[in-house]
Structure 1
Amino acid sequence: MSVILKLATAALLTCLSLAAYGEKLRIVTEPWAPYVYEHHGAMQGLDYETTVIVFQRLGVDVQWQFLPWKRCLAMLEQGNADGALDIFHSHDRDALLLYPSEPLSEVEFVLFYANGRPHPARTLHDLRGLTVGTSPGYLYGAPFSDASQFKREPAPSHEANFGKLMLGRIDLLITDRRVGLHVLRQMGLEDKVTQAPLVVSRQQQFLAVRRGAGMDLLVQRFAAELKRFKQEPEYAALSAKYGGIDANTPPGPTVEQQESGAP
Protein backbone atom coordinates (compact mmCIF):
# COMPACT_ATOMS: atom_id res chain seq x y z
CA MET A 1 0.00 0.00 0.00
CA SER A 2 1.43 3.39 -0.99
CA VAL A 3 2.15 6.06 1.61
CA ILE A 4 -0.55 8.35 0.12
CA LEU A 5 -3.13 5.56 0.26
CA LYS A 6 -2.18 4.78 3.87
CA LEU A 7 -2.64 8.43 4.87
CA ALA A 8 -5.96 8.65 3.05
CA THR A 9 -7.17 5.45 4.70
CA ALA A 10 -6.11 6.60 8.16
CA ALA A 11 -7.80 9.99 7.69
CA LEU A 12 -10.96 8.24 6.50
CA LEU A 13 -10.94 5.97 9.55
CA THR A 14 -10.57 9.00 11.81
CA CYS A 15 -13.53 10.70 10.14
CA LEU A 16 -15.61 7.52 10.38
CA SER A 17 -14.68 7.18 14.04
CA LEU A 18 -15.95 10.70 14.77
CA ALA A 19 -19.11 10.09 12.76
CA ALA A 20 -19.79 6.79 14.51
CA TYR A 21 -20.09 8.60 17.82
CA GLY A 22 -22.07 11.46 16.28
CA GLU A 23 -19.21 13.81 17.11
CA LYS A 24 -17.64 16.74 15.36
CA LEU A 25 -14.09 17.97 15.60
CA ARG A 26 -14.27 20.69 18.26
CA ILE A 27 -12.17 23.69 17.24
CA VAL A 28 -11.78 26.77 19.45
CA THR A 29 -10.37 30.15 18.53
CA GLU A 30 -10.46 33.81 19.51
CA PRO A 31 -11.86 36.44 17.11
CA TRP A 32 -8.78 37.65 15.25
CA ALA A 33 -10.01 39.65 12.26
CA PRO A 34 -9.28 39.46 9.39
CA TYR A 35 -8.06 35.88 9.99
CA VAL A 36 -11.16 34.63 11.84
CA TYR A 37 -14.11 36.64 13.17
CA GLU A 38 -17.88 36.96 13.26
CA HIS A 39 -19.78 39.42 11.07
CA HIS A 40 -23.57 39.76 11.24
CA GLY A 41 -23.80 36.37 12.95
CA ALA A 42 -21.62 34.53 10.43
CA MET A 43 -18.04 33.35 10.94
CA GLN A 44 -15.59 34.44 8.28
CA GLY A 45 -11.96 35.34 7.69
CA LEU A 46 -9.06 34.06 5.62
CA ASP A 47 -7.89 31.30 7.96
CA TYR A 48 -11.40 30.29 9.00
CA GLU A 49 -12.70 29.98 5.45
CA THR A 50 -9.54 28.19 4.33
CA THR A 51 -9.85 25.68 7.17
CA VAL A 52 -13.54 25.07 6.44
CA ILE A 53 -12.77 24.31 2.81
CA VAL A 54 -9.91 21.95 3.66
CA PHE A 55 -11.95 20.02 6.24
CA GLN A 56 -14.86 19.79 3.81
CA ARG A 57 -12.55 18.18 1.28
CA LEU A 58 -11.36 15.75 3.95
CA GLY A 59 -14.93 14.92 4.95
CA VAL A 60 -14.52 16.15 8.54
CA ASP A 61 -17.38 17.92 10.35
CA VAL A 62 -16.28 20.74 12.64
CA GLN A 63 -17.90 22.45 15.61
CA TRP A 64 -16.56 25.98 16.12
CA GLN A 65 -16.48 28.07 19.29
CA PHE A 66 -15.22 31.62 19.93
CA LEU A 67 -13.55 32.14 23.33
CA PRO A 68 -10.91 34.37 24.92
CA TRP A 69 -7.53 32.97 23.93
CA LYS A 70 -6.47 31.84 27.41
CA ARG A 71 -9.76 29.97 27.72
CA CYS A 72 -9.05 28.26 24.38
CA LEU A 73 -5.75 27.03 25.74
CA ALA A 74 -7.38 25.83 28.95
CA MET A 75 -9.97 23.83 26.99
CA LEU A 76 -7.20 22.15 25.00
CA GLU A 77 -5.30 21.26 28.16
CA GLN A 78 -8.45 19.93 29.82
CA GLY A 79 -9.47 17.86 26.80
CA ASN A 80 -12.63 19.92 26.18
CA ALA A 81 -11.51 20.92 22.67
CA ASP A 82 -9.87 18.94 19.89
CA GLY A 83 -7.96 21.78 18.32
CA ALA A 84 -7.29 25.50 18.02
CA LEU A 85 -7.28 27.75 14.98
CA ASP A 86 -4.50 30.32 14.47
CA ILE A 87 -2.07 29.11 17.08
CA PHE A 88 1.68 29.60 16.91
CA HIS A 89 3.98 26.61 17.21
CA SER A 90 5.31 26.19 20.73
CA HIS A 91 7.75 23.43 21.67
CA ASP A 92 6.35 23.67 25.21
CA ARG A 93 3.10 22.17 23.90
CA ASP A 94 4.54 19.53 21.57
CA ALA A 95 3.52 16.84 24.06
CA LEU A 96 -0.11 18.03 23.85
CA LEU A 97 -0.60 19.32 20.31
CA LEU A 98 0.14 18.30 16.74
CA TYR A 99 0.92 20.96 14.13
CA PRO A 100 0.58 20.54 10.36
CA SER A 101 3.73 21.16 8.35
CA GLU A 102 1.87 23.80 6.32
CA PRO A 103 0.95 27.11 8.04
CA LEU A 104 -2.33 28.92 7.48
CA SER A 105 -0.89 32.44 7.53
CA GLU A 106 1.72 34.71 9.07
CA VAL A 107 1.26 37.54 11.55
CA GLU A 108 3.47 40.57 11.98
CA PHE A 109 3.38 42.23 15.39
CA VAL A 110 3.72 46.00 15.24
CA LEU A 111 3.00 49.02 17.42
CA PHE A 112 0.32 51.69 17.01
CA TYR A 113 0.24 55.18 18.57
CA ALA A 114 -2.25 58.05 18.66
CA ASN A 115 -1.40 60.90 16.30
CA GLY A 116 -2.00 63.38 19.10
CA ARG A 117 0.72 61.71 21.19
CA PRO A 118 3.22 60.39 18.63
CA HIS A 119 5.74 57.71 19.57
CA PRO A 120 7.22 56.52 16.24
CA ALA A 121 9.36 53.80 17.82
CA ARG A 122 12.03 52.20 15.67
CA THR A 123 13.57 50.01 18.39
CA LEU A 124 12.43 48.65 21.75
CA HIS A 125 14.76 51.17 23.40
CA ASP A 126 12.51 53.93 22.05
CA LEU A 127 9.78 52.64 24.39
CA ARG A 128 11.67 53.62 27.53
CA GLY A 129 9.31 55.00 30.19
CA LEU A 130 6.20 54.28 28.11
CA THR A 131 3.20 51.97 28.61
CA VAL A 132 2.28 49.50 25.87
CA GLY A 133 -1.15 47.89 25.66
CA THR A 134 -1.14 44.10 25.22
CA SER A 135 -3.69 41.28 24.94
CA PRO A 136 -4.11 38.61 27.67
CA GLY A 137 -2.77 35.21 26.63
CA TYR A 138 -0.38 36.61 24.02
CA LEU A 139 3.37 36.80 24.25
CA TYR A 140 5.36 38.71 21.68
CA GLY A 141 8.84 37.20 21.92
CA ALA A 142 11.49 37.33 24.63
CA PRO A 143 13.00 40.71 23.65
CA PHE A 144 9.59 42.39 24.09
CA SER A 145 8.35 40.33 27.05
CA ASP A 146 11.61 40.53 29.01
CA ALA A 147 12.30 44.22 28.43
CA SER A 148 12.28 46.29 31.63
CA GLN A 149 12.46 49.80 30.19
CA PHE A 150 8.71 50.02 29.50
CA LYS A 151 5.45 48.82 31.05
CA ARG A 152 2.96 46.35 29.58
CA GLU A 153 -0.75 46.76 30.35
CA PRO A 154 -3.33 44.17 29.17
CA ALA A 155 -6.83 44.90 27.90
CA PRO A 156 -9.70 42.44 27.34
CA SER A 157 -9.94 43.09 23.58
CA HIS A 158 -8.21 44.81 20.69
CA GLU A 159 -11.01 47.38 20.60
CA ALA A 160 -10.49 48.10 24.30
CA ASN A 161 -6.77 48.64 23.67
CA PHE A 162 -7.47 51.17 20.93
CA GLY A 163 -10.00 52.87 23.20
CA LYS A 164 -7.38 53.19 25.93
CA LEU A 165 -4.92 54.53 23.37
CA MET A 166 -7.34 57.28 22.36
CA LEU A 167 -7.99 58.15 26.00
CA GLY A 168 -4.26 58.46 26.71
CA ARG A 169 -4.28 55.59 29.21
CA ILE A 170 -1.53 53.84 27.24
CA ASP A 171 1.16 55.26 24.95
CA LEU A 172 1.13 52.55 22.30
CA LEU A 173 -0.41 49.14 21.73
CA ILE A 174 0.93 46.01 20.10
CA THR A 175 -1.01 43.74 17.76
CA ASP A 176 -0.76 42.11 14.36
CA ARG A 177 -0.52 44.65 11.54
CA ARG A 178 -3.61 43.44 9.66
CA VAL A 179 -5.62 42.98 12.85
CA GLY A 180 -4.77 46.52 13.89
CA LEU A 181 -5.71 48.01 10.52
CA HIS A 182 -8.98 46.07 10.53
CA VAL A 183 -9.92 47.32 14.01
CA LEU A 184 -9.00 50.89 13.06
CA ARG A 185 -11.36 50.73 10.09
CA GLN A 186 -14.14 49.25 12.22
CA MET A 187 -13.73 51.98 14.84
CA GLY A 188 -13.29 54.82 12.34
CA LEU A 189 -9.86 55.73 13.69
CA GLU A 190 -7.76 55.48 10.51
CA ASP A 191 -6.88 59.20 10.57
CA LYS A 192 -6.21 59.30 14.31
CA VAL A 193 -3.78 56.39 14.79
CA THR A 194 -0.49 55.56 13.07
CA GLN A 195 1.63 52.43 12.91
CA ALA A 196 5.15 52.81 14.29
CA PRO A 197 8.09 51.68 12.09
CA LEU A 198 9.20 48.92 14.50
CA VAL A 199 8.24 45.35 13.64
CA VAL A 200 8.46 43.52 16.97
CA SER A 201 8.27 39.99 15.55
CA ARG A 202 6.75 37.68 12.95
CA GLN A 203 5.38 34.17 13.21
CA GLN A 204 3.33 31.65 11.27
CA GLN A 205 -0.14 30.54 12.39
CA PHE A 206 -1.41 26.97 12.32
CA LEU A 207 -4.42 24.83 13.01
CA ALA A 208 -3.23 22.52 15.81
CA VAL A 209 -5.05 19.49 17.26
CA ARG A 210 -4.71 17.49 20.44
CA ARG A 211 -2.72 14.29 20.17
CA GLY A 212 -4.95 11.22 19.88
CA ALA A 213 -5.72 8.14 17.83
CA GLY A 214 -5.46 8.93 14.14
CA MET A 215 -4.83 12.64 14.70
CA ASP A 216 -1.23 12.53 13.49
CA LEU A 217 -2.30 11.18 10.13
CA LEU A 218 -5.25 13.56 9.92
CA VAL A 219 -2.82 16.45 10.46
CA GLN A 220 -0.65 15.18 7.61
CA ARG A 221 -3.68 14.99 5.32
CA PHE A 222 -4.76 18.48 6.39
CA ALA A 223 -1.29 19.87 5.57
CA ALA A 224 -1.26 18.20 2.14
CA GLU A 225 -4.74 19.45 1.23
CA LEU A 226 -3.99 22.95 2.57
CA LYS A 227 -0.82 23.17 0.50
CA ARG A 228 -2.76 22.05 -2.57
CA PHE A 229 -5.57 24.56 -1.93
CA LYS A 230 -3.09 27.44 -1.66
CA GLN A 231 -2.12 26.87 -5.30
CA GLU A 232 -5.69 27.32 -6.49
CA PRO A 233 -7.42 30.51 -7.73
CA GLU A 234 -10.00 30.21 -4.94
CA TYR A 235 -7.31 30.71 -2.30
CA ALA A 236 -5.81 33.65 -4.21
CA ALA A 237 -9.26 35.27 -4.21
CA LEU A 238 -9.62 34.71 -0.46
CA SER A 239 -6.18 36.16 0.19
CA ALA A 240 -6.98 39.26 -1.86
CA LYS A 241 -10.33 39.65 -0.11
CA TYR A 242 -8.65 39.73 3.31
CA GLY A 243 -5.74 42.00 2.52
CA GLY A 244 -3.37 39.87 0.46
CA ILE A 245 -2.16 37.81 3.41
CA ASP A 246 0.71 35.60 2.30
CA ALA A 247 1.10 32.40 4.29
CA ASN A 248 4.20 31.38 2.35
CA THR A 249 6.48 34.20 3.52
CA PRO A 250 9.42 32.82 5.52
CA PRO A 251 9.00 33.65 9.23
CA GLY A 252 11.07 36.34 10.86
CA PRO A 253 12.20 36.38 14.53
CA THR A 254 10.32 33.76 16.51
CA VAL A 255 7.50 34.95 18.76
CA GLU A 256 5.36 32.81 21.06
CA GLN A 257 1.76 33.93 20.93
CA GLN A 258 0.09 31.96 23.66
CA GLU A 259 0.65 31.55 27.36
CA SER A 260 0.31 28.04 28.72
CA GLY A 261 -1.60 29.04 31.82
CA ALA A 262 -5.37 29.02 32.20
CA PRO A 263 -7.33 32.20 32.96
Structure 2
Amino acid sequence: MRPLIPTLLLLLLVCLSPLAQAERLRIVSDDWAPYLFQDNGQPQGIDYEVTNEVFKRLGIEVQWQFLPWRRCLAMVEQGLADGVMDIFQVDSRLGYLVYPDEPMSEAEFVLYQARQRPHPVARLEDLAGLTVGTSPGYTYNAAFSDSPLFRREAAPTHEANFGKLMLGRIDLLVTDRRVGHYLVRQLGLEQSVEALPLVISRHPQYLGLARKPGREALAQAFAEELRRFKQEPAYAAISARYLGNQDFPFAVEQQDSGTR
Protein backbone atom coordinates (compact mmCIF):
# COMPACT_ATOMS: atom_id res chain seq x y z
CA MET A 1 0.00 0.00 0.00
CA ARG A 2 1.38 3.41 -0.94
CA PRO A 3 2.33 5.50 2.14
CA LEU A 4 0.27 8.55 3.04
CA ILE A 5 1.46 11.90 1.71
CA PRO A 6 3.22 13.88 4.48
CA THR A 7 1.39 16.88 5.85
CA LEU A 8 3.89 19.34 4.38
CA LEU A 9 3.57 17.88 0.89
CA LEU A 10 -0.21 17.85 1.23
CA LEU A 11 -0.15 21.58 2.00
CA LEU A 12 2.09 22.16 -1.01
CA LEU A 13 -0.32 20.29 -3.24
CA VAL A 14 -3.20 22.41 -1.97
CA CYS A 15 -1.21 25.52 -2.87
CA LEU A 16 -0.45 24.08 -6.28
CA SER A 17 -4.00 23.13 -7.16
CA PRO A 18 -4.83 26.48 -8.82
CA LEU A 19 -1.68 26.09 -10.94
CA ALA A 20 -2.64 22.57 -11.96
CA GLN A 21 -6.09 23.74 -13.00
CA ALA A 22 -4.92 26.91 -14.74
CA GLU A 23 -2.20 25.61 -17.05
CA ARG A 24 -0.45 22.68 -18.61
CA LEU A 25 3.29 22.74 -18.14
CA ARG A 26 5.32 22.94 -21.32
CA ILE A 27 8.66 21.20 -20.90
CA VAL A 28 11.37 21.29 -23.56
CA SER A 29 14.48 19.21 -24.17
CA ASP A 30 16.60 17.81 -26.95
CA ASP A 31 16.88 14.13 -27.89
CA TRP A 32 18.95 12.67 -25.07
CA ALA A 33 18.33 8.92 -25.27
CA PRO A 34 17.91 6.91 -23.12
CA TYR A 35 16.89 9.70 -20.70
CA LEU A 36 14.31 11.19 -23.07
CA PHE A 37 13.86 11.14 -26.83
CA GLN A 38 11.34 10.73 -29.65
CA ASP A 39 10.58 7.48 -31.44
CA ASN A 40 8.29 7.92 -34.45
CA GLY A 41 7.16 11.20 -32.94
CA GLN A 42 6.34 9.68 -29.55
CA PRO A 43 8.26 10.81 -26.46
CA GLN A 44 10.05 8.04 -24.57
CA GLY A 45 12.91 7.60 -22.11
CA ILE A 46 13.72 7.03 -18.47
CA ASP A 47 13.45 10.62 -17.28
CA TYR A 48 10.46 11.26 -19.55
CA GLU A 49 8.48 8.41 -18.00
CA VAL A 50 9.56 9.26 -14.46
CA THR A 51 8.68 12.94 -14.86
CA ASN A 52 5.26 12.12 -16.30
CA GLU A 53 4.51 9.79 -13.40
CA VAL A 54 5.59 12.32 -10.78
CA PHE A 55 3.53 15.11 -12.30
CA LYS A 56 0.58 12.73 -12.69
CA ARG A 57 0.70 12.09 -8.95
CA LEU A 58 0.80 15.84 -8.39
CA GLY A 59 -2.25 16.29 -10.61
CA ILE A 60 -0.40 18.35 -13.25
CA GLU A 61 -0.51 17.74 -16.99
CA VAL A 62 2.67 18.07 -19.04
CA GLN A 63 3.20 18.93 -22.71
CA TRP A 64 6.58 17.95 -24.20
CA GLN A 65 8.48 19.58 -27.04
CA PHE A 66 11.83 18.44 -28.47
CA LEU A 67 14.13 21.13 -29.86
CA PRO A 68 17.86 21.79 -30.31
CA TRP A 69 19.48 22.33 -26.92
CA ARG A 70 20.42 25.96 -27.50
CA ARG A 71 16.83 26.78 -28.38
CA CYS A 72 15.59 24.94 -25.28
CA LEU A 73 17.76 27.14 -23.09
CA ALA A 74 16.64 30.30 -24.87
CA MET A 75 12.96 29.41 -24.58
CA VAL A 76 13.03 28.73 -20.86
CA GLU A 77 15.10 31.86 -20.21
CA GLN A 78 12.62 33.97 -22.19
CA GLY A 79 9.64 32.41 -20.40
CA LEU A 80 8.37 30.69 -23.56
CA ALA A 81 8.61 27.27 -21.86
CA ASP A 82 7.75 26.26 -18.30
CA GLY A 83 10.67 23.93 -17.84
CA VAL A 84 13.66 22.19 -19.38
CA MET A 85 14.56 18.57 -18.70
CA ASP A 86 17.93 17.09 -17.72
CA ILE A 87 19.75 20.35 -17.19
CA PHE A 88 22.73 20.92 -14.90
CA GLN A 89 22.68 23.38 -12.03
CA VAL A 90 24.71 26.43 -13.01
CA ASP A 91 24.89 29.66 -11.03
CA SER A 92 24.27 31.78 -14.12
CA ARG A 93 20.87 30.11 -14.59
CA LEU A 94 19.55 30.70 -11.09
CA GLY A 95 18.04 34.02 -12.14
CA TYR A 96 15.52 32.31 -14.41
CA LEU A 97 15.40 28.67 -13.23
CA VAL A 98 14.16 26.92 -10.09
CA TYR A 99 15.55 23.45 -9.40
CA PRO A 100 14.01 20.65 -7.32
CA ASP A 101 16.58 19.46 -4.80
CA GLU A 102 16.32 15.87 -6.07
CA PRO A 103 18.08 15.12 -9.40
CA MET A 104 16.48 13.08 -12.15
CA SER A 105 19.69 11.20 -12.98
CA GLU A 106 23.44 11.67 -13.34
CA ALA A 107 25.37 12.31 -16.55
CA GLU A 108 28.94 11.13 -16.99
CA PHE A 109 30.69 12.50 -20.06
CA VAL A 110 33.30 10.21 -21.60
CA LEU A 111 35.13 9.80 -24.89
CA TYR A 112 34.25 7.24 -27.56
CA GLN A 113 36.66 5.97 -30.20
CA ALA A 114 36.58 3.69 -33.23
CA ARG A 115 38.23 0.37 -32.36
CA GLN A 116 40.15 0.38 -35.65
CA ARG A 117 41.66 3.79 -34.84
CA PRO A 118 42.51 3.61 -31.13
CA HIS A 119 44.02 6.51 -29.20
CA PRO A 120 45.79 5.96 -25.86
CA VAL A 121 44.03 8.74 -23.94
CA ALA A 122 44.43 8.72 -20.15
CA ARG A 123 44.34 12.50 -19.62
CA LEU A 124 43.31 15.59 -21.55
CA GLU A 125 46.91 16.26 -22.63
CA ASP A 126 46.78 13.00 -24.61
CA LEU A 127 44.23 14.62 -26.95
CA ALA A 128 46.94 16.86 -28.43
CA GLY A 129 46.55 17.16 -32.20
CA LEU A 130 43.23 15.26 -32.33
CA THR A 131 39.72 16.33 -33.34
CA VAL A 132 36.93 15.58 -30.87
CA GLY A 133 33.25 15.60 -31.86
CA THR A 134 31.00 17.64 -29.58
CA SER A 135 27.34 18.76 -29.41
CA PRO A 136 26.30 22.39 -30.04
CA GLY A 137 25.31 24.26 -26.89
CA TYR A 138 27.12 21.83 -24.59
CA THR A 139 30.03 23.10 -22.48
CA TYR A 140 31.81 20.19 -20.85
CA ASN A 141 34.25 22.05 -18.59
CA ALA A 142 36.80 24.81 -18.95
CA ALA A 143 39.78 22.46 -19.16
CA PHE A 144 38.18 20.55 -22.04
CA SER A 145 36.41 23.42 -23.82
CA ASP A 146 39.29 25.92 -23.69
CA SER A 147 42.25 23.63 -24.31
CA PRO A 148 44.39 24.74 -27.27
CA LEU A 149 45.87 21.26 -27.61
CA PHE A 150 43.06 19.73 -29.66
CA ARG A 151 40.20 20.72 -31.97
CA ARG A 152 36.50 20.51 -31.07
CA GLU A 153 34.02 20.00 -33.92
CA ALA A 154 30.27 20.12 -33.27
CA ALA A 155 27.71 17.93 -35.06
CA PRO A 156 23.95 18.59 -35.25
CA THR A 157 23.03 15.32 -33.52
CA HIS A 158 24.63 12.63 -31.40
CA GLU A 159 24.00 10.12 -34.20
CA ALA A 160 25.84 12.39 -36.63
CA ASN A 161 28.87 12.40 -34.33
CA PHE A 162 29.01 8.59 -34.36
CA GLY A 163 28.71 8.66 -38.15
CA LYS A 164 31.64 11.06 -38.40
CA LEU A 165 33.64 8.87 -36.03
CA MET A 166 33.08 5.79 -38.20
CA LEU A 167 34.06 7.74 -41.34
CA GLY A 168 37.27 8.96 -39.70
CA ARG A 169 36.21 12.61 -39.94
CA ILE A 170 36.83 12.98 -36.19
CA ASP A 171 39.21 11.06 -33.95
CA LEU A 172 36.96 10.82 -30.90
CA LEU A 173 33.61 12.07 -29.68
CA VAL A 174 32.40 13.10 -26.25
CA THR A 175 28.96 12.26 -24.85
CA ASP A 176 27.28 10.89 -21.75
CA ARG A 177 28.19 7.26 -21.07
CA ARG A 178 24.58 6.03 -21.05
CA VAL A 179 23.70 8.06 -24.14
CA GLY A 180 26.70 6.61 -25.95
CA HIS A 181 25.93 3.05 -24.82
CA TYR A 182 22.33 3.38 -25.97
CA LEU A 183 23.23 4.83 -29.38
CA VAL A 184 25.98 2.28 -30.00
CA ARG A 185 23.40 -0.47 -29.55
CA GLN A 186 20.78 1.31 -31.67
CA LEU A 187 23.26 1.94 -34.49
CA GLY A 188 24.70 -1.59 -34.37
CA LEU A 189 28.21 -0.37 -33.56
CA GLU A 190 28.98 -2.64 -30.59
CA GLN A 191 31.94 -4.22 -32.38
CA SER A 192 33.18 -0.96 -33.90
CA VAL A 193 33.09 1.64 -31.12
CA GLU A 194 34.18 1.70 -27.49
CA ALA A 195 34.21 4.13 -24.56
CA LEU A 196 37.46 5.26 -22.96
CA PRO A 197 37.89 5.28 -19.16
CA LEU A 198 38.66 9.01 -18.86
CA VAL A 199 35.72 10.97 -17.41
CA ILE A 200 35.51 14.49 -18.82
CA SER A 201 32.82 15.56 -16.33
CA ARG A 202 30.13 14.14 -14.09
CA HIS A 203 27.00 15.99 -13.03
CA PRO A 204 23.49 15.40 -11.67
CA GLN A 205 20.71 16.28 -14.12
CA TYR A 206 17.59 18.13 -12.98
CA LEU A 207 14.22 19.33 -14.11
CA GLY A 208 14.63 23.09 -14.40
CA LEU A 209 11.44 25.12 -13.89
CA ALA A 210 11.07 28.64 -15.27
CA ARG A 211 11.18 31.05 -12.33
CA LYS A 212 7.59 32.24 -11.85
CA PRO A 213 5.31 32.70 -8.83
CA GLY A 214 4.59 29.35 -7.19
CA ARG A 215 7.42 27.49 -8.87
CA GLU A 216 9.44 27.10 -5.67
CA ALA A 217 6.51 25.21 -4.13
CA LEU A 218 6.14 23.13 -7.27
CA ALA A 219 9.86 22.28 -7.26
CA GLN A 220 9.66 21.17 -3.63
CA ALA A 221 6.57 19.03 -4.23
CA PHE A 222 8.19 17.49 -7.31
CA ALA A 223 11.35 16.62 -5.37
CA GLU A 224 9.38 14.98 -2.55
CA GLU A 225 7.33 12.84 -4.92
CA LEU A 226 10.38 11.98 -7.05
CA ARG A 227 12.27 10.73 -3.99
CA ARG A 228 9.28 8.60 -3.05
CA PHE A 229 8.91 7.16 -6.54
CA LYS A 230 12.60 6.23 -6.70
CA GLN A 231 12.02 3.81 -3.82
CA GLU A 232 9.31 1.90 -5.71
CA PRO A 233 9.78 -1.14 -7.99
CA ALA A 234 8.10 0.79 -10.82
CA TYR A 235 11.07 3.18 -10.94
CA ALA A 236 13.59 0.35 -11.30
CA ALA A 237 11.39 -1.22 -13.98
CA ILE A 238 11.53 1.95 -16.08
CA SER A 239 15.34 2.02 -15.98
CA ALA A 240 15.55 -1.68 -16.80
CA ARG A 241 13.43 -1.24 -19.93
CA TYR A 242 15.98 1.16 -21.41
CA LEU A 243 19.26 0.03 -19.87
CA GLY A 244 18.66 -3.66 -19.25
CA ASN A 245 21.08 -5.01 -16.67
CA GLN A 246 23.93 -2.86 -17.92
CA ASP A 247 26.04 -1.48 -15.09
CA PHE A 248 27.99 1.75 -15.50
CA PRO A 249 30.83 1.80 -12.96
CA PHE A 250 32.56 5.12 -12.49
CA ALA A 251 35.94 5.48 -14.17
CA VAL A 252 39.03 6.07 -12.09
CA GLU A 253 39.88 9.55 -13.35
CA GLN A 254 37.63 12.61 -13.30
CA GLN A 255 37.94 16.19 -14.42
CA ASP A 256 36.03 19.24 -13.20
CA SER A 257 32.29 19.63 -13.75
CA GLY A 258 30.70 20.42 -17.11
CA THR A 259 27.49 22.00 -18.32
CA ARG A 260 24.53 20.80 -20.32
Considering the TM-score relative to the shorter chain, is it more than 0.5? yes
Distance 1:254 1:98 in 2: 23
- The answer to whether the Cα contact below 8 Å between 1:90 and 1:256 also exists between their aligned partners in 2 is no
Aligned match of 2:219: 219
Query: 1:114: how far off?
Result: 1.0
Question: Is 2:182 aligned against 1:182?
Answer: yes
Distance 1:245 1:184 in 2: 13
Residues 54-133 of structure 1: pairs in structure 2 closer than 5 A: 54-133=54-133
The 3-state SS of whatever aligns with 1:52 is: helix
Distance 1:6 1:201 in 2: 36
Distance 1:88 1:245 in 2: 24
Aligned match of 2:237: 237
Query: 1:142: how far off?
Result: 1.6
Question: Is 2:152 aligned against 1:158?
Answer: no
Equivalent residue letter for 1:220: Q
Aligned match of 2:171: 171
Distance 1:130 1:183 in 2: 23
Distance 1:166 1:95 in 2: 41
Question: Is 2:252 aligned against 1:255?
Answer: no
- The answer to whether the Cα contact below 8 Å between 2:83 and 2:210 also exists between their aligned partners in 1 is yes
Query: 1:41: how far off?
Result: 3.2
Distance 2:209 2:116 in 1: 44
The 3-state SS of whatever aligns with 2:95 is: coil
Query: 1:66: how far off?
Result: 0.4
Q: List per-residue Cα deviations over 1:44-76 (Å, max 9, x = no partner).
A: 111110100000000011111000100000101
Q: Tell me which of 18, 21, 27 is aligned to 1:19.
A: 21
RMSD of aligned Cα (Å): 2.0
The 3-state SS of whatever aligns with 1:242 is: helix
- The answer to whether the Cα contact below 8 Å between 1:86 and 1:205 also exists between their aligned partners in 2 is yes
Q: TM-score, normalised by structure 1?
A: 0.89
Distance 1:205 1:80 in 2: 21
Query: 1:42: how far off?
Result: 2.2
The 3-state SS of whatever aligns with 2:258 is: coil
Equivalent residue letter for 1:255: S
Distance 1:120 1:128 in 2: 11
Gap runs ≥5 in structure 2: 1-5
Query: 1:82: how far off?
Result: 0.7
C-alpha distance 245-26 of structure 1, shift in aligned 2 (>3 A):
farther
C-alpha distance 102-253 of structure 1, shift in aligned 2 (>3 A):
farther
Aligned match of 1:261: none
Equivalent residue letter for 1:12: V
Distance 1:104 1:69 in 2: 18
Aligned match of 1:39: 39
Q: List per-residue Cα deviations over 1:150-175 (Å, max 9, x = no partner).
A: 11000000011011111111100000
- The answer to whether the Cα contact below 8 Å between 2:98 and 2:216 also exists between their aligned partners in 1 is yes
Query: 1:5: how far off?
Result: 4.1
Distance 1:231 1:213 in 2: 30
Aligned match of 2:3: none
The 3-state SS of whatever aligns with 2:217 is: helix
Gap runs ≥5 in structure 1: 259-263
Query: 1:238: how far off?
Result: 1.5
Identity among equivalent pairs (%): 57
Question: Is 2:135 aligned against 1:140?
Answer: no
- The answer to whether the Cα contact below 8 Å between 2:9 and 2:224 also exists between their aligned partners in 1 is no
Query: 1:200: how far off?
Result: 1.0
